[in-house]
Structure 1
């Protein structure tokens, strides 16, 4: 993403002009857009014309429109973004108030204007325009006959290719058909890797599968690389890392990224950090349930009690609450200035968390398909005097409303 122009006033109103230059930038743009924003971009409009003889014809013309955004549709597989709204600026082809749908295109600039730009949106623009924030991790999740080639970016996971080949079963006395099908499958995966993985950017390629499929594939991959004298694969052989996964489906990427060996190898990537934060939350939820909670009401109570140590937030929080667009920051994000909170905004929540694990939390977590906010690992601290702190104690959230009364008692301490 390139930032061409930025004009934000002191009251946080203003506009920015951006140019998306890769597919992931459409995801960033999707998270920037809100209903009521003003979007100006180049688009195609079908226009009807009438000749002097009275005959009516139609043609498609390229023009620039400014829309008041009403509907935002994002296709995560194709990384396509369509924005529907009404025209709010005079145009020779489109009347004021007429509806139009703009499909944003790569390498074509657009201007986005908002009445209020909050810090979360501005941070996302800064992240999207940072050239260092690229897809430095690739993964091949496979099983016999199925492989998913995925790029793990700082903001999302991109499915670049899905390889499916029918593998016949081994027959008694003859395995020729089975072996030939496996070779075709491995060759298709190899071509997918060469086509979709940029080894100049990618630091690590994770190859995960159940059983020995990954080992057989890597053996075939580099055997063919030697035979074909493929220097790209041979020079980047140290980047390949074999890990275990329970299946070849995309959701198994979560297992791969949570593997301790992978975490240490990818310690400098955002994806590994997010997975570790979620794993810590699940462990605490299992072993110390009085210190791990989630849900909007609990976060509000913990915030009022100054009881939050680590706050995990899905970036979906800034898009939807109860099915409608967020127009302002929700109450849990307004913390007292004296609180010190470690806040982690998770962008891979939808892509890497298995539905099965989400269902195991509680009905509250799946009240909506995207439970937007939860927090973990909180500690309560009381200021006894200006000289120091009281003993740090974990406390169940049901006692959070009791804290304010406890603070008035100076003669009793909890140890």
Structure 2
């Protein structure tokens, strides 16, 4: 009897080990669409999707449009420093803590020196943005005398992430107020959408594997890739493997719909829900949509562009790119792409909607960045719309193929291609 118990225990332990091995294979994480070489674990990817969007902090606010005022600000990420470069102008007064090396005894041959902390109040004369270190160097005259720095002497302050400072302006122009409000809001209107919760899940079947994608407002990420094993090579066994991944990684309390590329798999899901008595799945049958595909690369873009899915995704950027693409394919004359053509369309105020990749809009080269920021600003001032596509957006690779900048026009410009 004892040997029988031991034998049963060994068999049970073996079954548990096989189950754990199978789960490890099933939950093997995939990679982000933005690079086929960027592999991250599933848990890190979910943390990335759900963490709060970092924004610049406005600790104190005492200003209004077209009035004198001040603000206490803390940059939290490198891109915030670029905003400060555009916000702080010559003539502004910036106060921040810094340190200086002070010689203590000038009578001795061996000059003793010490680094002391102090606060400088600089009236800015020039500023330099350093992209490599993501710092902003402000040059100007010190306004207030202290023990170590005389008033009127020239000094430099360096602003960087997580370093608070005070900014005083004689006149807060509307552009400056708007830029600061957008960047410091809890949910900025032009914030990176990659942190938004997913609107839907997409289950794509390829020839030798399946993928589950999560689609949010402006961001799309593949959360898992399911490959058949020797034991699950048959159709129903592989469907069961994908079904397990779907149940494990898709929260129906968050996503609004599930799009599948296989009608057969949808029927299998319904059948499994009944068999396993997963009532919550049965109650969500109407939220499962089928959009058949051919199983080739790029199917996700086709799925999201399908009329049956467009209304499910609360992402105007998908609709904007779809409209642009249709115009390009139909050669309607109401679409253009490429820096030179878009610029000529802007000159005649013909741009209704501007589409631009994040790589251009936030380019590391200062001149390029200023150029495209000016383009976006000009389009908005002319009553047009401007959409910046992050590298994680499903339409970003296709927009990049159109040089990364394109526009939908208010009226046809057939001669635009022939300056």
Q: Distance in 2 between matches of 1:336 and 1:227?
A: 56
Contact 2:78-2:134 within 8 A present in 1 as well: no
Determine if the alignment matches structure 1 residue 126 to structure 2 residue 126.
no
Aligned residue pairs: how many? 281
Contact 1:146-1:248 within 8 A present in 2 as well: no
Determine if the alignment matches structure 1 residue 320 to structure 2 residue 353.
no
Question: Structure 1 residues 305 and 269 mapped into 2: Cα distance closer, same or farther (>3 Å)?
Answer: same
| Counterpart position of 1:311 | 354
Contact 1:204-1:240 within 8 A present in 2 as well: yes
Contact 2:354-2:376 within 8 A present in 1 as well: no
| Counterpart position of 1:198 | 251
Question: Tell me, what secondary structure is at the counterpart of 2:355?
Answer: strand
Question: Structure 1 residues 274 and 31 mapped into 2: Cα distance closer, same or farther (>3 Å)?
Answer: farther
Correspondent of 2:318 among 271, 275, 297 = 275
TM-fit CA distance, 1:274: 2.1
TM-score relative to the length of structure 1 = 0.55
Question: Tell me, what secondary structure is at the counterpart of 2:234?
Answer: helix
Determine if the alignment matches structure 1 residue 374 to structure 2 residue 396.
no
Question: Structure 1 residues 398 and 246 mapped into 2: Cα distance closer, same or farther (>3 Å)?
Answer: closer
Deviations 1:64-95 (Å, cap 9, x if unpaired)? xxxx9966xxxxxxxxxxxx889x9xxxxxxx
Contact 1:290-1:394 within 8 A present in 2 as well: yes
Task: Name the structure, 1 or 2, with higher relative contact order (CA <8 Å, separation 6+).
Answer: 2
Q: Distance in 1 between matches of 2:286 and 2:162?
A: 43
Question: Tell me, what secondary structure is at the counterpart of 1:148?
Answer: strand
| Counterpart position of 1:260 | 307
Q: Distance in 1 between matches of 2:84 and 2:381?
A: 35
Q: Distance in 2 between matches of 1:344 and 1:236?
A: 33
Contact 1:147-1:248 within 8 A present in 2 as well: no
| Counterpart position of 1:135 | 198
Correspondent of 2:239 among 175, 178, 186 = 186
Q: Distance in 1 between matches of 2:352 and 2:251?
A: 39
Contact 1:34-1:69 within 8 A present in 2 as well: no
Contact 2:256-2:287 within 8 A present in 1 as well: yes
Correspondent of 1:343 among 351, 361, 386 = 386
Contact 1:70-1:85 within 8 A present in 2 as well: yes
Contact 1:254-1:275 within 8 A present in 2 as well: no
Contact 2:354-2:384 within 8 A present in 1 as well: yes
Structure 1: unaligned runs, 5 residues or longer = 19-28, 38-67, 72-83, 89-109, 168-176, 209-213, 360-364, 366-370, 380-392, 401-415
TM-fit CA distance, 1:181: 2.7
| Counterpart position of 2:266 | 218
Question: Structure 1 residues 338 and 151 mapped into 2: Cα distance closer, same or farther (>3 Å)?
Answer: closer
Q: Distance in 2 between matches of 1:12 and 1:142?
A: 56
TM-fit CA distance, 1:376: 2.0
Contact 1:139-1:207 within 8 A present in 2 as well: yes
Q: Distance in 2 between matches of 1:136 and 1:118?
A: 29
> Where do residues 355-374 of structure 1 align in structure 2 (5 Å cutoff)?
365=402, 371-374=403-406
TM-fit CA distance, 1:227: 1.4
Q: Which has the larger radius of gyration?
A: 2
TM-fit CA distance, 1:125: 4.6
TM-score relative to the length of structure 2 = 0.54
Question: Structure 1 residues 190 and 138 mapped into 2: Cα distance closer, same or farther (>3 Å)?
Answer: same
Q: Distance in 2 between matches of 1:261 and 1:194?
A: 23
Contact 1:254-1:353 within 8 A present in 2 as well: no
Contact 2:212-2:225 within 8 A present in 1 as well: yes
| Counterpart position of 2:286 | 238
Question: Tell me, what secondary structure is at the counterpart of 1:351?
Answer: coil
Determine if the alignment matches structure 1 residue 397 to structure 2 residue 416.
yes
Question: Structure 1 residues 201 and 334 mapped into 2: Cα distance closer, same or farther (>3 Å)?
Answer: closer
TM-fit CA distance, 1:310: 2.2
TM-fit CA distance, 1:240: 0.8
Q: Distance in 1 between matches of 2:309 and 2:202?
A: 11
Q: Distance in 1 between matches of 2:341 and 2:184?
A: 28
Q: Distance in 2 between matches of 1:162 and 1:336?
A: 41
Deviations 1:136-174 (Å, cap 9, x if unpaired)? 21111113541111110113112111101157xxxxxxx
Q: Distance in 1 between matches of 2:57 and 2:361?
A: 24
TM-fit CA distance, 1:13: 7.7
Which protein is richer in strand relative to its size? 1
